[in-house]
A and B are shown apart, each in its own frame.
Chain A
Amino acid sequence: GDSVTQMEGPVTLSEEAFLTINCTYTATGYPSLFWYVQYPGEGLQLLLKATKADDKGSNKGFEATYRKETTSFHLEKGSVQVSDSAVYFCALGFDTNAGKSTFGDGTTLTVKP
């Protein structure tokens, strides 16, 4: 079956540090890939997405590139802020059955001033 594996946390960084959260996937077919972010006590919000190979999703300074050859979708940000502290979920989904989206276990990021 489909699966998503993301870097275990927690990750603790100082403000303005570079962030990488690794994500790899296995899937049958051609999924879209997503990063969702969950702030404390809230639901998930879409951070960025990519729908096909070599697409780059970007939002709020975060970027991730859909790499089919390495089946990866690593999340990066050049300079993190305290407000980026949250749990980040990598996920894959298909247009025909969004509810069967597969989520990674989540990576908790804490950014210290």
Chain B
Amino acid sequence: GAVVSQHPSWVICKSGTSVKIECRSLDFQATTMFWYRQFPKQSLMLMATSNEGSKATYEQGVEKDKFLINHASLTLSTLTVTSAHPEDSSFYICSAQGTSGFGTDTGELFFGEGSRLTVL
């Protein structure tokens, strides 16, 4: 099946620094990837849709200058949290929409393992 890998799985950084999280599709090409934020004991909040070769589409209320998304290839999307502050601490999850034969006909999503960001 389709595999999505996310790295790092956890990161601790100082306030004011920037952190990059990578999301890779390992065995398929993902033209579209999605980034979510999950608060403790809550559901996933879609932050943005990342399309290969074009600008990301951000959901209402998500600061695009704060959360930079780059989808430079068909297998890699990155989320950079710029000038991180303690309120940015959260669990960030990426997912990918598969290509033909990998669930595109059903709306199934393939998720990364998640990245826990703690900003001190």
Contacts and interface: CB of A to CB of B under 8 A. Distances in A.
A41 interface: yes
Nearest to B106: A32
A44 B107 contact: no
A26 interface: no
Interface residues of B, number: 26
Interface residues of A, number: 28
B41 A41 contact: no
Interface of A: 31-32, 34, 36, 41-46, 49, 51, 89, 92-101, 103-106, 108
A44 B114 CA distance: 8
Given A104-B43, A105-B42, A99 B106 contact: no
Interface in B93-120: 93, 95, 97, 103-114, 116
A44 B96 CA distance: 12
Interface in B30-48: 32, 34, 41-44, 46
B43 A95 contact: no
Interface of B: 4, 6, 32, 34, 41-44, 46, 49, 93, 95, 97, 103-114, 116
B59 to A, nearest CB: 10
Nearest to A34: B108
A42 B113 contact: yes
A80 B44 CA distance: 25
Nearest to A36: B111
A44 B111 CA distance: 6
Contacts of B108: 32, 34, 46, 49, 93, 98
B44 to A, nearest CB: 5
A94 B4 CA distance: 20
B43 A89 contact: yes
Contacts of A34: 107-108
Given A98-B103, A103-B43, A103-B44, 10 more contacts: A31-B107, A32-B108, A43-B112, A45-B111, A95-B104, A96-B107, A98-B108, A99-B109, A106-B42, A108-B41
